Structure 1
């Protein structure tokens, strides 16, 4: 079970992490004090469980849980609290799990046992077969409870050739072209022998996992047909075309489309022939995220907009735009600490990469915001003094 921990208290965060590390079935993949950074990691990794502090300063743990459940209804939420009476409120979210600080080993083990039992009972009968090219080449059952399939490739060459055929799906690819790409330094007789052997390995691998993908051979070329198997790249493209406008009614679909893109096209495979497609799709993805984020901002749903702009910042860390937008979003969200953090990150990035300062507009906005915050703090202190 893959878990992410979010807690405002560093000591309790580390303690829970250490206790979970002692449980063989649990892998802690992230620990966060900042809830917004935790949300970004949840979007990126889609863990099985989130251990979430109820009493956080920037955002209520209950509100954060609602945001998580909207996008990932199958993620298990385990609330942690220093006050047992607070746990009763969690049932409003239909969450059956909570832990009271300080943690007791037997209660933690019992909770983990319940979570593992619940995960084991999930069914994937309604899921459809899907080939995935975002981030890396892999196979899974796509549906309410997605399940990645463990595929054993005979050789790295067979995996690369299959990816190439997927890249050129529904097209006849000349065998001579495949020899030039994959066996450029082999004489033609051995090259054809390697090609036929590799195609056989691919077919055997597909048969072993029960995927109805066919590779049609003619005298001089091959053609790959997906048949009824889905491809994440095509589903992402179709979703954007089918729902060109972001509205309250189409929002759930747009969240699903956003979640399909969990990494650049074949980025972990490092295939040179995929670079152009990868760059093209990344530009489309960034434009799309900004479009969805614009809707969230207009709806004053700042937490969701923050998540998307954190992804944009991760993809484009050397662009000033995301830092400034996040500063404004955190201000609207009421998170002063994160406004200052983003400005500091922006200054450090610009100094390190360009030996420059933030542009005049950003500096002016920040100084105005800083002065406004100082006046508000003075009013609060003066009021307290008068009392």
Structure 2
């Protein structure tokens, strides 16, 4: 889960973030003392599943901030965290998911997370793939490390294909360009495929690969990917794209051009 927490009192914000980390150790939490900075973070492409908002804040109330969030992310879960119970009718008029009166406790946070208005889908493979800029893959929020650079490039190539399968010869032509597809190259390619499967299996993400005889692809339903969200029309992701896509790989330049044209 992705969280955004906003409270203009530093100690209150630090306490809220601390309790959120205890309730959801694997979650990504971004905290802000200023509502406008929280709005800017959304504009830069961060997509929180849940917003924990104080109500009485300097410059912009939590109610006003929630309205701005909902314009960009209609399915965001709003949980108001305040010392003033009288705002509850106004908060729930916004179809808030929850309302916590201070002091915050881990138990109250967990109760709200267990009863969200818009349940957050849990990815079976808990995998996030980043293609904007450099290609990287994260499992439970931690970067997945590859012993061989070519193995990582192989996975990048499959992600770029968006679930379309490649034969071994097609894959070799992309990764090794003009090299002769002889027995030596075939052996080398099999080593990298074996290494990829081993790495993903050890990370608990083996389901993202579809492997058949002389055929390999990714199962796009098994991971989250910024490239795929861009193509699906996700506005924050489109705004996040700055013209760079898998910059380490020359074969990715064609996709980069298509993404730039589509954003324009």
Q: Normalised by the size of structure 1, how large is the TM-score?
A: 0.47
Give the SS at the match of 1:38: helix
Alignment of 1:118-197 (within 5 A): 118=115, 122=119, 124=121, 132=129, 134-135=131-132, 136-138=135-137, 155-167=148-160, 173=170, 175=172, 178-179=175-176, 192-197=186-191
* Residues 1:198 and 2:192 aligned together: yes
Give the SS at the match of 2:190: helix
Q: Provide the aligned length of Structure 1 versus Structure 2.
A: 244
- The CA distance in 2 between the partners of 1:202 and 1:22, in whole Å, is 36
Alignment of 1:300-315 (within 5 A): none
Give the SS at the match of 1:98: strand
Give the SS at the match of 1:50: strand
* Residues 1:65 and 2:58 aligned together: no
Distance 1:54 1:77, change over 3 A: same
Shift in Å, 1:258: 1.6
Give the SS at the match of 1:110: helix
Query: What does residue 213 of structure 1 align with?
Result: 210
Shift in Å, 1:276: 2.9
Query: What does residue 45 of structure 1 align with?
Result: 46
Give the SS at the match of 1:45: coil
* Residues 1:273 and 2:250 aligned together: yes
- The CA distance in 2 between the partners of 1:192 and 1:271, in whole Å, is 23
Give the SS at the match of 1:47: coil
Query: What does residue 4 of structure 2 align with?
Result: 4
Higher relative contact order (CA 8 A, sep 6+): 2
Give the SS at the match of 1:77: strand
Distance 1:261 1:114, change over 3 A: same
Whether the 8 Å CA contact 2:131–2:246 is kept in 1: the answer is: no
RMSD: 4.8
Distance 1:77 1:274, change over 3 A: farther
Shift in Å, 1:65: 1.4
- The CA distance in 1 between the partners of 2:194 and 2:183, in whole Å, is 17
